[in-house]
Structure 1
Amino acid sequence: MTKTLYLMRHGQTQFNALGKIQGVCDSPLTSKGIADAKKVDQYFKDNQIEFDHAYSSTQERASDTLELVTDQPYQRLKGLREWNFGLFEGENQRLNPKYDPKIGSVGDAFVPYGGDSADDVQIRMVRVLTEIMDRKDNQNVLVVGHGASIYLFLKNWIPLEEIVKHVEMKNCSVLKFEFADDKFKYLKTINVVD
Structure 2
Amino acid sequence: MKTLNLYLVRHGQTYYNIFNKLQGWSNSPLTQKGIDGAKDIGQRLSKVPFAGAFCSDTGRAISTAEIILDANQVSQTNKPHSAPYFREEFYGYFEGTDINQAWYQAAGPHGLKSIGDIVEKYSFDTAKDFLKEADPFSMAEDHTEYWQRVDQGFELINSDPSLHDGDNVLVISHGNTLLSLMDRYANGRYDLSERPANGSLTRIKLVDGKIEVVDYNK
Give TM-score scaled by structure 2 length: 0.79
Q: CA RMSD in A?
A: 1.9
1:137 aligns to 2:162 (yes or no): yes
Q: Report if aligned partners of 1:122, 1:152 keep a CA contact under 8 Å in 2.
A: no
Aligned to 2:169, the other structure's residue is in SS state: strand
Q: Residue 117 of structure 1 aligns with which residue?
A: 142
Cα distance, 1:174 vs structure 2: 1.5
Q: Report if aligned partners of 1:14, 1:27 keep a CA contact under 8 Å in 2.
A: yes
Mapping of residues 140-179 of structure 1, within 5 Å = 140-159=168-187, 161-164=188-191, 169-179=196-206
Cα distance, 1:119 vs structure 2: 3.3
Q: Report if aligned partners of 1:36, 1:172 keep a CA contact under 8 Å in 2.
A: yes
Cα distance, 1:111 vs structure 2: 1.8
Deviations 1:11-48 (A, max 9, x none): 11000011111111110111111000000010012xx2
Runs of 4+ in structure 1 over 3 Å off: 165-168
Identity %: 27
Q: Report if aligned partners of 1:15, 1:22 keep a CA contact under 8 Å in 2.
A: yes
Cα distance, 1:188 vs structure 2: 1.3
Q: Which moved more, 1:91-100 or 1:169-178?
A: 91-100
Cα distance, 1:168 vs structure 2: 5.2
Q: Distance between the aligned counterparts of 1:129 and 1:49, measured in 2?
A: 20
Q: Residue 39 of structure 2 aligns with which residue?
A: 38
Give TM-score scaled by structure 1 length: 0.88
Q: Residue 182 of structure 1 aligns with which residue?
A: 209
Larger Rg over CA atoms? 2
Q: Residue 111 of structure 2 aligns with which residue?
A: none
Cα distance, 1:107 vs structure 2: 3.2
Q: Distance between the aligned counterparts of 2:212 and 2:193, measured in 1?
A: 15
Q: Distance between the aligned counterparts of 1:130 and 1:171, measured in 2?
A: 25
Distance 1:157 1:127, change over 3 A: farther
Q: Distance between the aligned counterparts of 2:159 and 2:185, measured in 1?
A: 17
Aligned to 1:126, the other structure's residue is in SS state: helix
Q: What 5-or-longer segments of structure 2 have no aligned partner? A: 71-77, 108-114
Distance 1:133 1:55, change over 3 A: same
Q: Distance between the aligned counterparts of 1:52 and 1:165, measured in 2?
A: 30
Aligned to 2:29, the other structure's residue is in SS state: coil
Q: Residue 128 of structure 1 aligns with which residue?
A: 153
Q: What 5-or-longer segments of structure 1 have no aligned partner? A: none
